[in-house]
Structure formats: structure tokens, C-alpha cells
């Protein structure tokens, strides 16, 4: 028989809150049905720093909720290229992602989008690199200005030398009128020019200052900080990188299910009187910080558990296990679990047993939840007398 201790309802800081519950996964979700008015599965994703096994104060960064993530996936699927692109407020120096407002999230919550990258739901790509003023980097509004090297006037224009290949006539571009591409003629031989690229050659290009009439090969190029009205040199400018976020089409179904199962497992641990957190940064004995998908610590003992969720099309191999071994050995929890819907490749089982990692591989997420529940139940019963 599976024994479970109810969550202490007074622990308001750890009670998950949300606007909707997930459905479709049986097993653990049915056990929480009697508590649907008190708890549900829309749990905040946060990243507190845990040193050793002690929870440090939570970060003030905006937190993402999994139910919002599912709704975001639905919104992104409606986009033609399935890509979330930023909107830049150049004067205020801020980035916005307007699609976030459709799921009730603040539009500048970049940490939320980054958490979905960590979960494998979104892929981050460089969208644009902005050059900003080194003195006022809080504004993105800058423009290019060309100056005359002699009188420093901005009244500069670009000139080109055009050659009509058929008759050999050469003159400045100001003497050629190509405003009508269908009815252009050479000013010398008067023959029609039907294909500019094939019939006209550009042997030279330069600049001319309309104020001092000076001609020169290279204009002085400056960037202008538009908000604070001053120029700065291009070499002194600072770069600001903006990112777009693309939906991972090939794995989106699996990864959205991963987000859902995380909440199931989180509530499972809380049901056994654990303080449980999603996507936690833990500092190990070496001083290195490790990102743990699910971390649980008993409220009554020093017992702790790490749960990793990995899915690979070619199965879980030893390199996947190595990525778990490093934080496992450095943090030294009471128990470590790896859950996956992927197959387990040869040699992984023996490696996991040698280092005390419990493997759960099922092609059905609901079966994974049930097996984790059985594992934690047996562990809880074995140590029940100590609690």
C-alpha cells in the first residue's frame, strides 16, 4: 500500500497557485483531486540558490508558470515562423516581447523565456546587435552621420561615375536620369538603356560637400546619440544583443509534456512533506553551481532528492549519465532519480547502479509518475520511524 502524508496547508509560501489545472495524466493527479480547491499544478518556476542542502532566499526575478508556458506554445504555433521576436523601445532602452501579454505575463520578462530555453521548449537565436552610446547605454536610439572631413558639414552626398558601355561616355551620376527604368537614355548617344546592370559600369565613387564643394573619397562617419544629442565614435560604441525565441517543432510535444510532468512530480514531493522546487541552482561541495530540474528536501530530516528529466531520440547514453553524475557527486543528495520516456542504452543501467542513481524509463508519462510515487513511498515508509 502506498502511504502519503498530506501537505501542511499552513506552508503558504510553498503552496502552488494558478489559474488552471492540467488534465490527462492519471495516477498522481487523481490523488490531488480532493485538494483541487487548495492546490493545483500551475507551479512557479524559480531559481533560488541552494548552498549544500540549505535553501537560500528566493530571487526577486520574475517567475514563469507552466500553464502559461502551455498557452504560450499555443500562441507561438499561430505565428508563421513560430518565432517570438522582440520589440525595441529605442529611447527608453528596453526590450519587449508583446506576445507575453496574451498569456498574462509582463512583456519584458526575458527570464521567463530563458527558462523555456532551459526546458528545451524554445531555442534562443541572435536577432540583432545594436550599437549603443558608451556614455548613455540605457538608450538604444542612435543613427549614422556623415561629415565633410574639411568643414565638418553634414551636407554631404555620395557621387558615382557612370560609363555607358556601348558608346564609352563617362560622366557623374547627377547627369544620368534613371528615375524611369523603362525609359532611360544615354545623355550622349541618346540610345535607350534597358538593363542598367549590363549596360552601365561604375568605375569610381566619392563624396562631395555641398557647403564647401570639396570632393573626397571617404566621409567622416560618426554615430549620433539621438536622445542626448551628441556624437560618438563607432569604435567606442557598445554592443547590445537582442534575441528571438523559436519554437522547437520536432520536440515541442515531448517538451510541453515535460513541463507538465514537472508539476506532477513537484506536487508528489510536497505530498510527502518535502520542500520542493523547480529549476533550482545548487552550490555543491566544490563551490560549483548546478542547475537541477527538481530538488526536494524533507521538512523533518536532512533527506534530499534530485530528479533529472532527460529525453533523447537515440536513447539515454553514458554521456547523459555523466551530466547527472557531476552534480550528484558534488551535491551528494540522499537519492537521485533519472526519469525518461527514452530507451536506456547499453551500459547505462550498470553505471547508474554503481553510483546509486535510480532509473525510471517508461514511454507513458503517467506511468513515470506512478513509479516515482512508488519509489518515494517505499523510501518514506523505510524512514517513517525516524520522522
DSSP structure class, residue 350:
H
Percent of the chain with pLDDT over 90: 31
CATH code where residue 333 lies:
3.40.1350.10
Mean pLDDT across 181-191: 81
Q: Are residues 256 and 358 in the same domain?
A: yes
- At 215-225, the pLDDT tens digits run 998 899 999 99
Whether the CB-CB separation of 2 and 373 falls below 8 Å is answered with: yes
Q: Are residues 119 and 184 in the same domain?
A: no
Residue 360, strand partner residues: 339
- At 321-356, the pLDDT tens digits run 988 999 999 999 999 999 988 889 999 999 999 999
Given phi > 0 = left and psi -120 to 50 = alpha, else beta, which region is 146?
beta
Q: Are residues 49 and 166 in the same domain?
A: no
What phi and psi values does residue 254 have, to the nearest 5 degrees?
A: -65, -45
Q: Are residues 20 and 106 in the same domain?
A: no
How many domains are there within the chain? 3
Q: Is the pLDDT of residue 46 over 70?
A: no
- At 240-256, the pLDDT tens digits run 899 999 987 544 445 55
What is the pLDDT at residue 352?
93
What is the pLDDT at residue 180?
67
Q: Are residues 267 and 364 in the same domain?
A: yes
Rg (CA), the chain: 31
Mean pLDDT across 74-84: 85
Helix (H) or strand (E) holding 125: strand 122-132
Measured CA to CA, the distance from residue 37 to residue 4 in angstroms comes to: 19
Whether the CB-CB separation of 41 and 67 falls below 8 Å is answered with: yes
DSSP structure class, residue 189:
T
Mean pLDDT across 19-34: 30
Q: Is the pTM of this model over 0.75?
A: no
Question: CA torsion angle for 23, 27, 33, 38 (degrees, to 10)?
Answer: -90
- The residue among 43 and 137 whose pLDDT is bigger is 137
Beta strand pairing call for 170-172 and 200-209 = unpaired
Q: Are residues 56 and 93 in the same domain?
A: no
Helix (H) or strand (E) holding 60: none
- The answer to whether residue 7 sits within a structural domain is no
Measured CA to CA, the distance from residue 387 to residue 384 in angstroms comes to: 5
What phi and psi values does residue 136 have, to the nearest 5 degrees?
A: -125, 70
Whether the CB-CB separation of 228 and 136 falls below 8 Å is answered with: yes
| Three-state secondary structure call for residue 336 | strand
Given 230, 245, 260, the domain boundary residue is 245
- The answer to whether residue 130 sits within a structural domain is yes
Mean pLDDT across 129-145: 89
Q: Are residues 324 and 265 in the same domain?
A: yes
Given 210, 245, 280, the domain boundary residue is 245
Range of the domain at 77: 69-137+238-245
Residue in the structure block whose three cell numbers are 534530499: 304
pLDDT band for 196, please (50, 70, 90 cuts): confident
Whether the CB-CB separation of 296 and 275 falls below 8 Å is answered with: yes
- The residue among 55 and 260 whose pLDDT is bigger is 260
Q: Are residues 279 and 331 in the same domain?
A: yes
Q: How far is CA 191 from CA 151, 171, 181, 194, in A?
A: 40, 16, 13, 9
- The answer to whether residue 142 sits within a structural domain is no
Q: Are residues 254 and 380 in the same domain?
A: yes
Measured CA to CA, the distance from residue 289 to residue 102 in angstroms comes to: 34
Q: Is the pLDDT of residue 271 over 80?
A: yes
- At 93-127, the pLDDT tens digits run 788 999 999 988 999 999 889 888 887 788 899 99
Beta strand pairing call for 357-361 and 335-340 = parallel
What is the pLDDT at residue 311?
75
Tell me the torsion sign for CA atoms 307, 117, 257, 22.
Answer: positive
pLDDT band for 67, please (50, 70, 90 cuts): low
Mean pLDDT across 137-166: 90
Q: Are residues 25 and 102 in the same domain?
A: no
What's CA 321's distance to the chain center, in Å?
25
Q: Is the pLDDT of residue 294 over 60?
A: yes
Q: Are residues 177 and 278 in the same domain?
A: no
Amino acid at each position: 500500500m502506498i502511504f502519503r502524508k498530506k501537505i501542511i496547508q499552513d506552508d503558504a509560501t510553498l503552496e502552488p497557485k494558478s489559474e488552471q489545472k492540467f488534465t490527462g495524466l492519471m495516477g498522481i493527479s487523481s490523488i490531488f483531486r480532493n485538494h483541487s480547491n487548495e492546490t493545483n499544478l500551475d507551479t512557479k518556476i524559480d531559481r533560488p540558490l541552494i548552498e549544500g542542502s540549505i535553501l537560500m532566499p528566493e530571487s526577486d526575478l520574475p517567475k514563469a508558470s507552466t500553464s502559461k508556458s502551455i498557452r504560450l506554445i499555443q500562441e507561438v504555433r499561430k505565428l508563421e515562423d513560430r518565432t517570438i521576436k522582440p520589440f525595441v523601445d529605442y529611447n527608453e532602452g528596453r526590450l519587449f516581447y508583446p506576445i507575453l501579454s496574451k498569456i498574462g505575463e509582463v512583456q519584458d520578462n526575458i527570464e521567463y523565456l530563458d527558462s523555456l530555453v532551459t526546458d528545451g521548449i524554445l531555442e534562443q537565436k541572435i536577432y540583432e546587435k545594436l550599437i549603443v552610446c558608451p556614455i548613455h547605454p540605457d538608450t538604444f536610439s542612435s543613427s549614422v552621420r556623415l561629415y565633410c572631413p574639411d568643414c565638418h558639414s553634414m551636407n554631404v552626398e555620395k557621387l558615382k561615375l557612370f560609363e555607358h558601355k556601348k558608346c564609352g561616355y563617362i560622366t557623374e551620376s547627377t547627369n544620368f536620369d534613371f528615375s524611369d527604368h523603362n525609359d532611360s537614355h544615354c545623355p550622349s548617344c541618346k540610345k535607350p538603356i534597358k538593363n542598367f546592370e549590363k549596360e552601365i559600369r561604375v568605375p569610381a565613387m566619392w563624396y562631395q560637400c555641398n557647403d564647401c564643394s570639396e570632393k573626397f573619397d571617404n566621409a567622416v562617419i560618426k554615430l549620433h546619440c539621438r536622445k542626448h544629442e551628441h556624437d560618438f565614435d563607432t569604435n567606442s560604441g557598445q554592443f547590445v544583443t537582442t534575441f528571438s525565441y523559436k519554437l522547437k517543432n520536432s520536440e515541442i510535444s515531448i517538451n510541453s509534456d515535460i513541463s507538465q510532468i514537472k508539476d506532477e512530480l513537484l506536487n508528489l514531493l510536497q505530498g510527502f512533506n518535502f520542500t520542493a522546487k523547480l529549476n533550482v541552482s545548487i552550490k555543491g561541495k566544490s563551490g560549483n553551481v548546478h542547475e537541477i530540474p527538481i530538488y526536494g528536501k524533507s521538512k523533518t530530516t536532512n533527506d534530499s532528492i534530485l530528479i533529472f528529466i532527460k529525453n533523447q531520440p537515440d536513447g539515454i547514453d553514458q554521456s547523459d549519465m555523466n551530466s547527472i553524475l557531476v552534480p550528484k557527486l558534488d551535491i551528494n543528495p540522499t537519492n537521485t532519480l533519472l526519469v525518461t520516456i527514452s530507451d536506456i542504452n547499453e551500459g547505462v543501467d550498470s553505471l547508474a547502479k554503481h553510483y546509486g542513481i535510480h532509473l525510471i524509463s517508461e514511454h507513458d508519462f503517467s506511468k513515470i509518475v506512478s513509479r516515482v510515487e512508488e519509489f518515494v513511498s517505499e523510501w518514506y515508509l523505510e524512514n517513517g520511524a525516524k520522522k
